Amino acid sequence: MLRVGVLVSGGGTNLQAILDAIDNGKITNAKVELVVSNNAKAFALERARNHGIEAICISPKSYESRELFNQALLQEINKRNLDLLVLAGYLVKIPEEMIAAYRGRIINIHPSLIPSFCGVGFYGLRVHEAALARGVKVTGATVHFVDEGMDSGPIILQKAVEVQPGDTPQVLQRRVMEQAEWVILPQAIDMIANHRI
């Protein structure tokens, strides 16, 4: 059984997609053991608790330095003997020590077709604003392994989504979540849990 930790910053819609996929059998041989947020008010923490999952907040704001925060985060993660860490809308840079300790065992969902609209500064609505400003006809989402770079690790899965005339960043964001993110993130976890990667 793959022991999964999910790191989130906001509402937790990708977390919900993972939990639903476990409940309905689209993800097998995996269990979410821990949800971590850097934001104490993140609705994702409530989603986790409602599902009987341990949910904790570890915020950089609670520590005197980023180094102390990085140590605390890694310490809490290490305590749980997790097999896979899933970044599901986590807006904090992962410490290099954690990447080294969990190399090949951290994945991220990004709301574009990498290498487009990725890297430093591209997160949340900014990605969709940039896609619309560029005038692309197709966007999508990517699940990739996390390395020391920003959105630069090996790609696991991608799914394309058409941009529609009149799309706003918010409308496009919702379509990308529904048609791509909530599909390929659970799929990638299932592939890892069943040794198909």
Known catalytic residues are 110
CA distance 52 to 146: 27
Tokens 């941009």 sit on residue: 163
Cα three-residue angle 20-21-26, rounded to 5 degrees: 155
Burial 168-186 (b: 16+ CB within 10 A, else e): ebeebbebbbebbbbbbbb
Q: Which helix (H) or strand (E) holds 91?
A: none
3-state SS track over 58-69: CCHHHCCCHHHH
